[in-house]
Chains A and B, each alone.
Chain A
Amino acid sequence: MVPQSAIIVDAKDNVATALRPLEQGTSVHLETEDKSLDIVLRQAVPMGHKFALKDIEPGEPIIKYGETIGRATRKIMKGEHTHVHNVEGLRGRGDR
């Protein structure tokens, strides 16, 4: 089996996880149960980090494992590194 470069955990997800360090401009081929897609990375994505599979509007939920893991704090473009700079968690937030 050829090692995959990234994985979509659940077909409902709007982000994928890089399984090795990926360079900016890389075209990543991904497959889920019902679709296959190619995403061109807008930035380098370190191993274990996530990138967007589609354009995500501010406030829209980020979905991984088929579940909500947080929401976008600004617009996230397809292929963009998706992490703490553009996503916030909603739980355990005593700061507001």
Chain B
Amino acid sequence: MKFWGYRRIDGRIGVRNHVLVFPTVICASAVAQRISTEVPGTVWVTHAHGCGHLGEEKEHMIRVMSGFCGNPNAAGVLLVGLGCELITPELIAEELGKTGQRVETVGIQRLGGTTEAVARGKKLAENLLKEAGAAQREPVDVSELIIGTHCGGSDTLSGLTANPALGFACDLLVNAGATVMISETAEMLGAEHVLERWAINDEVRRRIWAITSTAEANFKSMGVDIRGTEPSPGNVDGGLTTLEEKSLGSIRKGGTSPIVQVVKYAERPSKKGLVIMDGPAHDIVSNTGMIAAGAQVIAFTTGRGTPVGSPIAPVIKISSNSIVYHSMRDNIDINAGAILDGDESIQSVGEQVFKEIIDVASGKLTRAEVLGHHEFAIHAIGPTV
């Protein structure tokens, strides 16, 4: 099966053709935002990182930033830095250069302040935009897709409708040779034994136990009851009673294919098929990590309703019930609640989700894109020095 995508120099396929203005350090955020705002057609992010990282977290931040900027959905990237930060535009540009991606850099101190940096950045961003405009979609095989999955603002129905329907679509994708990622390690606690059964070999099995036991030990070390945060107050209102219940519903969204690999947060999978990314359940942090790992599309189920999107990747919303579908009609792409109404089955909604993923990968806009949602957040793993 084919979809229409942009083939990049390194052979990977983009489903969007963005020019991204990205600050490598928080101090460059306002300049990055100004440049992007003054060059319509570009997208931007801000974040709180880029300085004060130590040891493993430094490597982690470089992997996240270069992975996100290097996602094939970004045709070109303008990196904006201050000049005295730990993670400089030049450092990330060097990583991105390996993929052949078009990259430019701006340094605020080097250029003599905000006004000059914005002026220089605008010129560079305009050029990147012109160059990106030359790219054309071509038919490419579905096996080139990496789909990130997430469930956010879940209710009990998420595990009965939207997650199994998305899981059905994910099984179709994996059968067609694509890669599907599930993450949210906290929401594997209580469901490890099920994931273990799906693991393709002992190494994957061992990694599943390693990431879940590390996550649980971290939570326990805080000396508090995880309930109240997982499940969240909204989850509990929606009927989710325990983390175990949430987990058993959550893991259904990736389908039932063999789990072929466990990767770190923002680490690109080296295998095709169903992959686990070790990452937080926080919606935006999770999406950012999967996009940095190479996901071109995010399929996102919700019971309570959430509007989130991404600056560079389409996020498809699938509601678990018809009430939220109608009350947040602007934000939801597909209603799996129709399964409960007796109008649809898990299989029929699953097929609808699969088709939507192919259409969106070929250029159809998601609700989150139409509404301009571009949330972005990076997982911090160490103390700020």
Contacts and interface: CB of A to CB of B under 8 A. Distances in A.
Contacts of B136: none
Given A50-B156, A94-B223, A69 B190 contact: yes
A62 B238 CA distance: 18
A45 B198 CA distance: 34
B222 A94 contact: yes
Q: Is the interface of A mostly helix, strand, loop or mixed?
A: loop
Contact of A68 (B156, B244, B341): B244
Contact of B244 (A7, A48, A91, A95): A91
A48 B224 contact: no
A40 interface: no
A93 B228 CA distance: 11
A47 B322 CA distance: 12
B241 A94 contact: no
A93 B236 CA distance: 17
A93 B242 contact: no
Contact of B160 (A17, A88, A92, A95): A17
Contacts of A89: 190, 226-227, 241-245
Contacts, number: 114
B321 A47 contact: yes
Interface stretch (B107-115, B213-221, B288-296, B363-371): B213-221
A9 B225 CA distance: 27
B157 A65 contact: no
B340 A3 contact: yes
A93 B224 CA distance: 7
B155 interface: yes
A1 B159 CA distance: 21
Interface in A1-16: 1-4, 7, 9
Interface string A6-48: 0101000000011110000000000000000000000000111
B151 to A, nearest CB: 14
B189 A17 contact: no
A88 to B, nearest CB: 7
A20 B243 CA distance: 22
Given A48-B155, A94-B224, 17 more contacts: A4-B340, A7-B160, A46-B239, A47-B239, A47-B321, A50-B156, A50-B241, A64-B245, A82-B241, A83-B236, A84-B236, A89-B243, A89-B244, A92-B216, A92-B220, A94-B223, A94-B225
Interface of B: 155-157, 159-160, 186, 189-191, 193-194, 216, 219-227, 230, 236, 238-245, 247-249, 303, 321, 323, 340-342
13 contacts: A3-B340, A3-B341, A48-B240, A49-B239, A50-B239, A65-B248, A89-B227, A90-B242, A90-B244, A92-B186, A92-B189, A92-B219, A93-B220
